[in-house]
Structure 1
C-alpha cells in the first residue's frame, strides 16, 4: 500500500539554500522509489486557511517513506529547508485500491455501537 510524505510549507523569500535543497532532494528519493505527486502547485482553498504550499511525495509503502526521511542523504539536506521554511511534515499510509468510505463508516458504527 502506498504511503505519502506530506508537507505544508509557509511561503518565504527565495533563499539559495532552499534552491540547493530542491536541486538535491530528487537524489535522496530515488533509492526509496519516492516521487513527487504534488510540488507547490496552485492551492484552491475551499474551507479554512492554508497559508503556504503543499508538497506530496509518494512511496511504495510506509517503511520506504520512513527510511527515506531517516536516511543520511536526506538528513544532510534537511537543514537547507528547515532553516528557511516553516511548516509541518507528516508521513501517512494511503488506502487500498478498494477503499470504501461507507464501509469504513459502517465498521466504526459497529465498533462504537452507534
Structure 2
C-alpha cells in the first residue's frame, strides 16, 4: 500500500541552508522509492487555518517511508530545513484501491 510523508511547513523561507537541503533531498529519496507528489504550492484554505505550505512525498509502503526518514543520508540534511522552517512532519498509509467511505462508516456502526 502506498504510504506518504507529509510536511506542513508553517514558516517557509529560503536561505543557503534550505537551498542546500533542496539540492540534496532528491538523492535521499531515490533508494527508498520516494517521489514528490506535492512540493510547496500556495494553498487555498477552505476550513480552519493553515499557515504556510505543504509537501507530500509518496513511498511504496510505510516501511520505505520510515527507512527514508531514519536514514543517515536524510538525517544528515534534515537540520538544514528544521533550523529555519517551523513545521510538522508525519508518515502515514494511504488507502487501498477501491476504498469506500460508506462501507467504512457501516463497519464502524456495526462495531458500536
Mapped to 1, the partners of 2:88 and 2:3 lie a distance apart of 17
1:71-110 matched pairs, under 5 angstroms: 71-110=71-110
Aligned residue number for residue 67 of structure 1: 67
Per-residue CA shift, 1:11-59, capped at 9, x if unaligned? 2442110110011000000000000000011201001110001000000
Corresponding position of 2:49: 49
Matched, 1:38 2:38: yes
Classify the secondary structure of the residue corresponding to 2:56: strand
| Long gaps (5+) in structure 2 | none
**1: CA distance between counterparts of 2:7 and 2:33?**
18
Unaligned runs of 5+ in 1: none
Label 1:71 to 1:102 Cα distance change in 2 as closer, same or farther (>3 A): same
Displaced runs of 4 or more, over 6 A:
none
Q: How many residues of Structure 1 are paired with residues of Structure 2 in the alignment?
A: 112
TM-score in terms of structure 2 length: 0.97
Calculate the aligned-residue CA RMSD, in Å. Answer: 0.8
Residues 106/46 of structure 1: CA separation in 2 closer, same or farther (3 Å cut) = same
TM-score of the two chains, using structure 1 as the length reference:
0.96
